[in-house]
Amino acid sequence: MTHRDDEPAFMDDEGPSNDLPAFISTTNARELYGLREGETVAEAITRHQDEGAAVRRLTPDEMAELRRDMAESSAWARAELARRRKEHK
């Protein structure tokens, strides 16, 4: 089975999986789609997809964390590039 971005993928211990479960249990639906009391699985999937399509602004704390992560990543990349250049001399 090949995966396309518009097809559902299920998460397992190794990450996204194309192996779909034989059935969607109530527990799976709650975990995957936030199934609410009185809601069908199809309704939960539709709601989940609609909510996922919405874009929201990052909070100031999320923005600060993102900046820290980016700074750490940039520092690591510069150090790694310098190390590799030094190895090849």
pTM of the model: 0.39
Tens digits of residue pLDDT in 18-54: 666 666 666 777 787 888 889 888 898 888 888 876 6
> What percent of the chain clears pLDDT 90, i.e. is strictly above it?
34
Res. 10 pLDDT band, cuts 50 70 90: low
List, for residues 50-84, the tens digit of each pLDDT value. 887 667 788 999 999 999 999 999 999 999 999 99
10 contacts 17 by C-beta, under 8 angstroms = yes
Mean of per-residue pLDDT scores for the chain: 81
Write the burial class of residue 22 (CB in 10 Å: 0-12 exposed, 13-18 middle, 19+ buried).
exposed
